[in-house]
Amino acid sequence: MDQHTDPDGTLFTWFRDSALRHSRLTALEVGGESLTYGELLDLAERLAHRLVSVAGRPPRAVGILAARTPAAYAGYLAALRLAATVVPLNPAFPAERNAYVCRAAGVDVVVTDRPDVDVVVTERSGEGSGSGPASVLLDASTRDEVAAGPRWSGPPEGAADDVAYVLFTSGSTGRPKGVPIRHRQLARYVPWWIERYEAGPGSRLSQSFDLTFDPSVFDMFVAWCSGATLVVPQSRELMMPTRFIAAKGITHWFSVPSVISIARRLRGLAAGSLPTLRHTLFGGEPLTLEQAAAWAEAAPHSVIENLYGPTEVTISCTAYRLPADRARWPRTPNGTVPIGTVHDLLDGVVLDDSGRAADEGELCLRGHQRFDGYLDPRQNVGRFVAYDGDRSSVLDGDAVRPGSWYRTGDRVRVEDGQFVYLGRLDDQVKIRGYRIETGEIEHVLRARPEVQDVVVLAVPGPGGPALHAVYTGTEVPDEEFTDLVATRLPPYMVPERYHRRAMLPVNANGKTDRRQLAAELQRDL
C-alpha cells in the first residue's frame, strides 16, 4: 500500500485518510475563505446527506454547477463520498449543453452555488422535456443550514473500478463526448506525481483550471492526498496570474501556457518576480521555448515541465522537464518545448499513415491510465487500433478490446528520444498539395521581437485554402513578415495575409480557440 493512496480505494477514501492525518492543516483556500482538512471533510459528509435527502436515495451521478466557490469542492467530495460519478458542469456554458450533459451522464441531482440553477441546466429546445435534475443550493444563504445537518454515515465510499468522474470533450458530430475515468486509473498516477513534485504539508498548489478540464483533478488530489493546500484564484485573478502567485505564496503552479502571454502583455513577468515557485507545469496547448524562457526568468527557483495528455488517458501521458542549465535546452523546428516521453503507467507508439511504427505520425497509447471507452459506445468506432508490433489496424467496432491502443489524433515527431508535438491530424494544413505544419511558420514569425503570440491558419477561399497569420504585439509591415518567412521556409509556406489583434480568442479551458479565429477570418474576408 502506498502512503498516499490505497490501490483498492477511491478518490474519496484517499482524501479522507489524508484529512484524518492532517485535520488541522488548511486544505482549501477559495473566495477569501479557508477550510481545514477536518472542516472540508465535515462539510462534504453533511452535504452528502443532503444530496441523499433531495434525491430520495444515494444518487448515481452528481452534477457540479459551481465555479471557484466552496460549493464546487465540497460538492465534488460529497458526490465521491456517495460512490456517485462526478459530472462537472460550467455556469458559463449554454443551458442546452449543460442539460445534454446531465441527461447523457444520468445526473440525478446537481450541487450548485447558483439560485437560478434551472436557467443554467434546463434545455429549452431540441431534445429533452424542459425539466432538469433536482438541485441542492450551497451558498452563503444555505451554508449554515447544510453545515448543521446530519453527516452521511451510509454505505462504503465505492470501489476502485467505479467511475470517479465523467468529462465531456468536443465531438466531431457536434455532440460532446463523455469520457468516464475510473478510480483505479488514478491509483498509481496520483502518488507518482506527489513524489515527483515533492508535494506535502506546506506546499501550496494552484487551481487555475475549471472543473470541466481534467488537470483540475491533478491539482485537487495531488494537493489533498499529500496534505498540501489547494489555492483557487478567482476569474479576475487569473487575468493577473503572477500577482496571484506572488501574493498567495504559490509553490506549485499548473496552467495553460497562455497565462505567460497574458502576464507579458500586462508587463507582469519581471525577472525574479515569482520567488516562491518550486515547480511549474504547463499543459493543454503547445508551450514555446520563448514562453518558457520568460517564465524561467521570473521564477528562478522553479523546475519547469511541459505535460501533454488527452482526457482519455487520464490527465497527462507524457512529460518533459527543461534542464536547469539554459544552455542545454532543446531546439525544435517549431520552437516548442518537447512533450517528452510516455509515463511509466502507459505504452506509446507512433504510427505513420501505413500503420507502421515511425519517427513521425499519430501517437497511440495503451496501459493503466487509458480509459475503457466513451460513455456512448458508438463514439468508440475508429478511435482504437490493434497493433502487433509490425502493423496496426483501425478497429471499426464499438467495443473496446483489451490491449488495444487509443488513437490520440495528435501528430508527434521523435527528436533526440523525445516527442515533439506537431498538431492535430485533422488540423494539418494542405496547400496546393503540400502538407504543412503551421507550427514551423509560427516559430519563424515569433523571431520578430514585436510578436508576442502568433497563430497560422488555413482559411478557405475561392481559389482554395490560403495561409493566414494572426499575431499579437506591435504592428509589423506585411512585407517584412513575408521576407522573413521567405528566407527561412519554402514559398508554399509563406502566409498570404497577416492580421494583428489585441488578443487571441480563448475557449473555456483557456486554450487558444483556433476554430473561432478561423471563423472570424473567413467572415471578414
- Render pLDDT for 94-129 as a digit per residue (tens, 0 to 9): 888 889 999 999 999 999 999 988 777 876 544 444
Averaged pLDDT, 467-480: 95
- Render pLDDT for 122-180 as a digit per residue (tens, 0 to 9): 765 444 445 678 999 999 899 999 999 999 999 888 999 999 999 998 654 457 899 99
DSSP class of 377: G
Residue 523 in this model has a pLDDT that exceeds 90:
no
Neighbours of 127 (CB within 10 A): 9
Averaged pLDDT, 231-250: 93
**What whole-number distance in Å separates Cα of residue 205 and Cα of residue 432?**
48
| pLDDT for the residue numbered 127 | 46
- Classified as helix, coil or strand, 434 is strand
| pLDDT for the residue numbered 429 | 73
Residue 347 in this model has a pLDDT that exceeds 90:
yes
**What whole-number distance in Å separates Cα of residue 476 and Cα of residue 484?**
11
| pLDDT for the residue numbered 171 | 56
pLDDT band at 320 (very low <50, low <70, confident <90, very high): very high
| pLDDT for the residue numbered 128 | 45
**What is the distance between the terminal CA atoms of the chain, rounded to a whole angstrom?**
61
- Render pLDDT for 182-217 as a digit per residue (tens, 0 to 9): 999 999 999 999 999 999 999 999 999 999 999 999
The mean pLDDT of the chain is 91
Cell numbers describing residue 467: 495561409
- Render pLDDT for 19-66 as a digit per residue (tens, 0 to 9): 999 999 999 999 999 999 999 999 999 999 999 999 999 999 999 999
- Please name the residues in contact with 197: beta carbons below 8 A apart, sequence gap of 6 or more: 222, 252, 279
- Decide which of 489 and 390 is more confident: 390
Residue 489 in this model has a pLDDT that exceeds 90:
no
CB 68 within 8 A of CB 232: yes
Identify residue 489 by its one-letter amino acid code.
L
In this structure, which long-range contacts are made by residues 121-124, counting pairs with CB atoms below 8 Å and at least 24 apart in sequence? 121/63, 121/65, 121/89, 121/95, 122/95, 123/95, 123/96, 123/99, 124/95, 124/96
- Render pLDDT for 394-444 as a digit per residue (tens, 0 to 9): 999 999 999 999 999 999 999 999 999 998 887 667 676 676 878 889 999
| pLDDT for the residue numbered 159 | 96
| pLDDT for the residue numbered 490 | 79
Averaged pLDDT, 462-483: 90
Identify residue 240 by its one-letter amino acid code.
M
- Decide which of 321 and 239 is more confident: 321
pLDDT band at 2 (very low <50, low <70, confident <90, very high): very low
pLDDT band at 67 (very low <50, low <70, confident <90, very high): very high
Identify residue 445 by its one-letter amino acid code.
L
Map grid coordinates 493546500 to a residue.
229
pLDDT band at 336 (very low <50, low <70, confident <90, very high): very high
CA distances, 467 to each of 51, 199, 430, 455, 521 (Å): 53, 45, 10, 10, 11
CB 221 within 8 A of CB 20: no
Map grid coordinates 506525481 to a residue.
193
- Please name the residues in contact with 502: beta carbons below 8 A apart, sequence gap of 6 or more: 472
∠ CA(32), CA(34), CA(38), 5° rounding? 160
pTM: 0.87
